[in-house]
Amino acid sequence: MEQPFIENNKHAEWIYWTGICNADRTNGLNQIKDCIDKFGFIQDFHLYSDISIALNVSIEEHKIGALYEALSDCVHLDFYEIKPSDKSLERTLMLNITFSKGTGDMKNEVIAVPG
């Protein structure tokens, strides 16, 4: 007997959120990291200049609603319907955030090291 698609899909437990952060990138990243650290942990991230960041967050299913509420204080998230859960099933959250003050011309200063 063939399994339903949702059970065969290895990404079925992934959640996708997008949002816009109006704070400057440095402060915004600190606020976002603090929120995520309370409920889960960052597995991976990709920073695209100072315009956006893509985060992979590992979080238990029953903490998803609390993370959404916490992140809503610093990021304007697209609507996502939170289904109540008491499961501790590990989920992966794909979070893409755009910084409204980004210019696309991020420069990182490199300190000169003698020698």
pTM higher than the cut 0.85: no
Q: Which domain holds residue 69?
A: 22-87
CA torsion angle for 45, 47, 53, 59 (degrees, to 10)?
Answer: 10
**Mean pLDDT of all residues in the chain?**
85
Domain assignment present for 50:
yes
Minimum mean pLDDT among 2-6, 8-12, 99-103, 104-108: which range? 2-6
Q: How large is the angle between the packed helices 25-39 and 64-71, nearest 10 degrees?
A: 160
C-alpha–C-alpha distance, residues 93 and 105, integer Å = 28
CA torsion angle for 37, 43, 48, 51 (degrees, to 10)?
Answer: -30
Tokens of 41: 């942990």
Please tell me whether residue 23 adopts helix, strand or coil conformation.
coil
Please report the pLDDT score of residue 29 as a whole number: 92
Domain assignment present for 114:
no
Domain assignment present for 8:
no
Q: State the pLDDT confidence band at 96, using cuts at 50, 70 and 90.
A: very high
Domain assignment present for 79:
yes
- Count how many domains the chain has: 1
More confident residue, 96 or 115: 96
21-65 pLDDT tens trace: 999 888 999 999 999 999 999 999 998 888 899 999 999 999 999
DSSP state of 76: E
Domain assignment present for 17:
no
Domain assignment present for 1:
no
